[in-house]
Amino acid sequence: MTAGAFPDGGGHGGVRRVMGSETEYGIHAPLTPTANATVLSARVIEAYARLNSSRLAGEAGARRATAGWDYSDEEPLHDARGWTMPRNRAHYSQLTDVEPVLDATAVALAHGRAELDYSDVESAEQPLMNMVLGNGARFYVDHAHPEYSSPEVTGPRDAVIWDAAGDLVALESVRALQEADGTGPVNLYKNNTDNKAVSYGSHENYLMPREVPFSSIAEGLIPFFVSRQVLCGSGRLGLGQDGRGVGYQISQRADFFEAEVGLETTIRRPIINTRDEPHATADKYRRLHVIIGDANLSQYANYLKFGTASLVLGLIEAGRVPKLQVFEPVAALQDVSHDTSLQHRVRLIDGRRLTAVELQWLYFEAAKSFAEETGAGHPSQGDGETHALLTAWEETLGWLESGDERAAQRVEWLAKLRLLEGYRDRGGLAWNDAKLGLIDLQWSDIRPEKGLYHRLAQHGRMEKLVDDAEIAAAVTAPPEGTRAFFRGMCLSRFPREVTGASWDSVIFRLPRQSRSTRIPTREPLRGTRELTGALFDAHQDAEDFLRALQQQ
Amino acid sequence: MAGQEQINPSSRNEEQAEEADAAIPTSPAAQSSAATQGVDDLLDEIDGVLEKNAEEFVKGFVQKGGQ
């Protein structure tokens, strides 16, 4: 294999490593604005499950054949700094290791309004809260939002593809729901705030070798996270958590961060999240859980978000990350976000003052020279991805710095800003005009006919990284280079026998056996097409397949 | 015009920005009117898909807490 081809991290100097995305969608039923968000979200998941089952069975209204989630390896209270938070001190939203049941308590905890509608909750069949998909993803209700967690992929280009596939899953769900239900549309938004003090996340996950000390990860990443929003922020109209401050800012998320390092994800949000839930062999790997990113519709913004983070983690692993320490990082994060002129200078502990773009250049230069040394970044003999990522990073930073309008075809906050400016110029609208607020919101509507990002993309105003056909294929096909291949194939091949799955397990229940068989998948780089493809080809029957698997 | 300065994503001040913007197109008159027409058409099209009653719609978009 060529240099840098090992995607598990560990100083190879390239972008390739095991990674994945999580998107919580904003949810809104305009005709029933008081509908409970948890109930609505469950309806979305349920609609997709019905669609999925009828496809599998080849007929509408078939029996629901859906694998549940296996919770046995969830450890949301393990802290990467070396301790575990006691359950009784955790916020209820942190207890993600138990099966949520949609009962009156769950609905009430999701802060339902006065007109709570329990009719769905008390219906005979418990609504579905969790699905594992044939592409290896998880699609489920996370508190009060539908969430799509992508399957594990091995590089930023695939991260973009399987993240965008999630938007198609979400789109199919709301279309199916509207057809079946008739109570009016349920809209999903790929954004991160309602502009009324509430934020919800889009997280990134990166696999790292366990031996890298957590303190060096936090130190190396903070200045990177403070500055990367100039490339991958999605733009937000309004300042402050409640959005009442007048103006436009770079990031959806920046104003919601209140701490530098911490375990929480829903309260006192930290720039560096310490949740240590590897979903893999724990003495070998950590899963870095990044909660600070904006949800991206722009493919290039998403590509740069995953690719540059992976390169910077490689620098940290190799002890080559630029030595930068930001003075008061939380305030700096927000100052950078609030200055769309990109002129704000971030104060460093050593007295230097650098703009976010200048900070990004330092990371770029370090990553480029490291990738050149290891060979991962070589245009023809490299790992096949790092050279392209470095090129895109360099071009985009250069365009931002020189004011080249090509930046607006990649950088999402700038594309949205140009659209808002177009309306301001034409209609003389103030920054707090309701129409501009609607444009900011509708930018992220996942429907191609309504979403304004999608409208711009249809006009060729957003540069595309991947073909629509590749994204469409990823709705059903798992990535081939990780255990997601095994998971996804098990689910689509044996929908009746697979009764549960998680990141690190697949559970079979064979018709003639009283006990389930749990197949652990704790190595993210096993279960690939290379390792298991032939088994799936050779065995059409679940029992034969399991027998052959266990003989391996 | 303070707002304008805020939204110029370049390192230049407003005057320089105007000069530079004028310098980019190779045949300025034709290109800029074509570009303006393109933007106008796009805004018209978007006007057609925007949700009705912007103020009420935006006000109604209230989310519960998330991660």
Q: State ipTM.
A: 0.88
Q: Tell me which chain A residue has its CA closest to the CA of residue B17.
A: A403
Q: Give the range with max mean pLDDT: A93-97, A190-194, B31-35.
A: A190-194
Looking at the predicted structure, is the pLDDT value of residue A68 above 70?
A: yes
Burial of residue A37, with CB atoms counted within 10 A of its CB: 0-12 exposed, 13-18 middle, 19 or more buried: buried
CA triplet A269, A271, A276: central angle to 5 degrees?
Answer: 80
CA distance A456 to chain B (A): 8
What number of other Cβ atoms are within 10 A of residue A174's Cβ? 23
Q: How confident is the model at residue A85 (pLDDT cuts 50, 70, 90)?
A: confident
A551 φ, ψ (degrees, to nearest 5)? -85, -10
Q: Kindly state the average pLDDT of the residues A25-35.
A: 92
Give me the pLDDT at residue A106, please.
Answer: 54
Give me the pLDDT at residue A264, please.
Answer: 84
Residues of A in contact with B67 (CB under 8 A): 24, 93, 142-143, 200-201, 203, 265-266, 291
* Distance between CA atoms of residues A518 and A506, nearest Å: 6
CA distance B63 to chain A (A): 6
Give me the pLDDT at residue B20, please.
Answer: 40
Give me the pLDDT at residue A65, please.
Answer: 55
The pair of three-digit structure tokens given for residue A147, joined into one six-digit string: 């969430």
| A143–B66 CB contact, under 8 Å | yes
A227 φ, ψ (degrees, to nearest 5)? -100, -20
Give me the pLDDT at residue A104, please.
Answer: 52
CA distance B30 to chain A (A): 18
Question: Under 8 Å CB-to-CB from A343, ≥6 apart: which residues?
Answer: A355, B11
Mean pLDDT over all residues of chain A? 90
Q: Kindly state the average pLDDT of the residues A90-118.
A: 57
Mean pLDDT over all residues of chain B? 67
Looking at the predicted structure, is the pLDDT value of residue A121 above 70?
A: no
Q: How confident is the model at residue B7 (pLDDT cuts 50, 70, 90)?
A: very low
Beta-bridge partners for A8 = A17
Looking at the predicted structure, is the pLDDT value of residue B11 above 50?
A: no
Residues of B in contact with A198 (CB under 8 A): 62-66
A397 φ, ψ (degrees, to nearest 5)? -60, -45
Indicate whether B47 belongs to any domain: yes
Q: Kindly state the average pLDDT of the residues A53-68.
A: 62
Chain B interface residues (partner A, CB cutoff 8 A): 3, 5-12, 17, 20, 24, 39-40, 42-43, 45-46, 49-51, 54-55, 57-58, 60-67
Give me the pLDDT at residue A277, please.
Answer: 87
Give me the pLDDT at residue B12, please.
Answer: 39
Looking at the predicted structure, is the pLDDT value of residue A252 above 70?
A: yes
* Distance between CA atoms of residues A47 and A53, nearest Å: 10
Which residue from B9, B51, B63 is facing A340, i.e. has the nearest CB? B9
Indicate whether B42 belongs to any domain: yes
Q: How confident is the model at residue B39 (pLDDT cuts 50, 70, 90)?
A: confident
Q: Tell me which chain B residue has its CA closest to the CA of residue A430.
A: B3
C-alpha radius of gyration, chain A, whole number: 23
Q: How many CB pairs under 8 A join A and B?
A: 138
Q: Kindly state the average pLDDT of the residues A333-344.
A: 98
Q: How confident is the model at residue A126 (pLDDT cuts 50, 70, 90)?
A: low
Indicate whether B55 belongs to any domain: yes
| B63–A110 CB contact, under 8 Å | no
Give me the pLDDT at residue A266, please.
Answer: 83
C-alpha radius of gyration, chain B, whole number: 18
Question: Under 8 Å CB-to-CB from A297, ≥6 apart: which residues?
Answer: A167, A190, A234, A412, A443, A444, A451, A453, A454
- Select the more confidently predicted residue: A16 or A120: A16
Sign, CA dihedral A356-A362-A366-A371, equals positive
| A129-143, A235-249, A517-531, B14-28, range with the lowest pLDDT | B14-28
Q: Kindly state the average pLDDT of the residues A229-240.
A: 98
Looking at the predicted structure, is the pLDDT value of residue A74 above 90?
A: no
User: Read out DSSP for B3-49?
Assistant: HHHHT--SSS-HHHHHHHHHHS-SSHHHHHHHHHHHHHHHHHHHHHH
Which of A102, A126, A123 minimizes the C-alpha distance to A38? Answer: A102
Indicate whether B20 belongs to any domain: no
Q: Tell me which chain A residue has its CA closest to the CA of residue B14.
A: A341
Indicate whether B1 belongs to any domain: no
Give me the pLDDT at residue A60, please.
Answer: 41
Give me the pLDDT at residue A122, please.
Answer: 36
Q: Tell me which chain A residue has its CA closest to the CA of residue B65.
A: A198
Residues of B in contact with A339 (CB under 8 A): 6
Residues of B in contact with A273 (CB under 8 A): none
| A15-24, A25-34, A454-463, range with the lowest pLDDT | A25-34
* Distance between CA atoms of residues A269 and A275, nearest Å: 12
Which residue from A194, A400, A426 is facing B9, i.e. has the nearest CB? A400
| A455–B49 CB contact, under 8 Å | yes
User: Which entry of A70, A120, A142, A158 is annotated as an active-site residue?
Assistant: A142
Question: Under 8 Å CB-to-CB from A537, ≥6 apart: which residues?
Answer: none
Q: Kindly state the average pLDDT of the residues A491-499.
A: 92
How many CA atoms are closer than 13 Å to the CA of A507, on its beta-carbon side?
A: 16
| A198–B54 CB contact, under 8 Å | no
Which of A117, A158, A111, A116 minimizes the C-alpha distance to A136? Answer: A158
| B61–A26 CB contact, under 8 Å | yes
Long-range contacts of A54-63 (CB under 8 A, 24+ apart): A56/A495
Q: Tell me which chain B residue has its CA closest to the CA of residue A242.
A: B62
Indicate whether B30 belongs to any domain: yes
Reply yes or no on whether A142 is catalytic: yes
CA distance A90 to chain B (A): 14
Give me the pLDDT at residue A551, please.
Answer: 86
Looking at the predicted structure, is the pLDDT value of residue A193 above 60?
A: yes
Q: Kindly state the average pLDDT of the residues A176-199.
A: 92
Which of A270, A246, A247, A248 minimizes the C-alpha distance to A258? Answer: A270
Indicate whether B13 belongs to any domain: no
- Select the more confidently predicted residue: A144 or B23: A144
Residues of B in contact with A461 (CB under 8 A): 42
Looking at the predicted structure, is the pLDDT value of residue A64 above 80?
A: no
Looking at the predicted structure, is the pLDDT value of residue A86 above 90?
A: no
Q: Kindly state the average pLDDT of the residues A33-57.
A: 89
Q: How confident is the model at residue A84 (pLDDT cuts 50, 70, 90)?
A: confident
Give me the pLDDT at residue A22, please.
Answer: 97
Q: Kindly state the average pLDDT of the residues A265-269.
A: 86
* Distance between CA atoms of residues A399 and A412, nearest Å: 14
Give me the pLDDT at residue A184, please.
Answer: 84
Give me the pLDDT at residue A75, please.
Answer: 83
- Select the more confidently predicted residue: A128 or A335: A335
Strands A285-290 and A202-209 turn out to be: antiparallel
Q: Kindly state the average pLDDT of the residues A196-210.
A: 95
Residues of B in contact with A248 (CB under 8 A): 6-7
Domain extent at residue B31:
26-59
Q: Give the range with max mean pLDDT: A60-74, A125-139, A324-338, B4-18.
A: A324-338
Cβ A104 vs Cβ A71: under 8 Å: no
Looking at the predicted structure, is the pLDDT value of residue A102 above 90?
A: no
| Number of domains comprising chain B | 1
Which of A32, A298, A319 minimizes the C-alpha distance to A164? Answer: A298
Q: How confident is the model at residue B64 (pLDDT cuts 50, 70, 90)?
A: confident
Stated length of chain A: 552
